[in-house]
Amino acid sequence: MAVLATRNDAAEIGGVLEEIIEESVEEHTAGSPPGTPLVESHPYRLIAGMALTAGYVIFIPRISVFSFATRAGISRFLSRLGGYRRWGVVAAVSVAGTLLLLFFFMKVVYVSLPIGQVPFSAVTLFLMQVMGIR
């Protein structure tokens, strides 16, 4: 409780943040020649990401199941293009992202999204009912 009651100067906090950043830079650049950029450039991944997004926009009407196509698209984007290998996190982010987009487009923006044919439409309609989308 005493920590909350004491007064911290902004310069003191800024100094701590600067130290953390400097330590991180030193850790990540150890053994690298001077002038090496901290962030790698991957132009082919950028082009592949744009192609994946364009393909998603083109094929979503043909697939006609927004929730499944979005989940698959997000997981492919994270795992294949992003190089993220923790499958539990990829699955959680793709499901949460799909639900967030479904809610945003249908509840906030009022865009009619494709719900799919009989086996898939039941899942989509259930998700809509749970989230209060009519």
Number of domains comprising the chain? 1
On whether residue 58 sits in a domain, the answer given is yes
On whether residue 47 sits in a domain, the answer given is yes
On whether residue 23 sits in a domain, the answer given is no
On whether residue 22 sits in a domain, the answer given is no
State yes or no: pLDDT of 8 exceeds 70. Answer: no
* Contact call for residues 91 and 75 (beta carbons, < 8 A): yes
Percentage with pLDDT > 90 across the chain: 7
On whether residue 34 sits in a domain, the answer given is no
Express each pLDDT in 103-114 by its tens digit: 898 888 888 877
On whether residue 91 sits in a domain, the answer given is yes
Domain containing 78 equals 43-131
What integer best gives the mean pLDDT of the chain?
Answer: 79
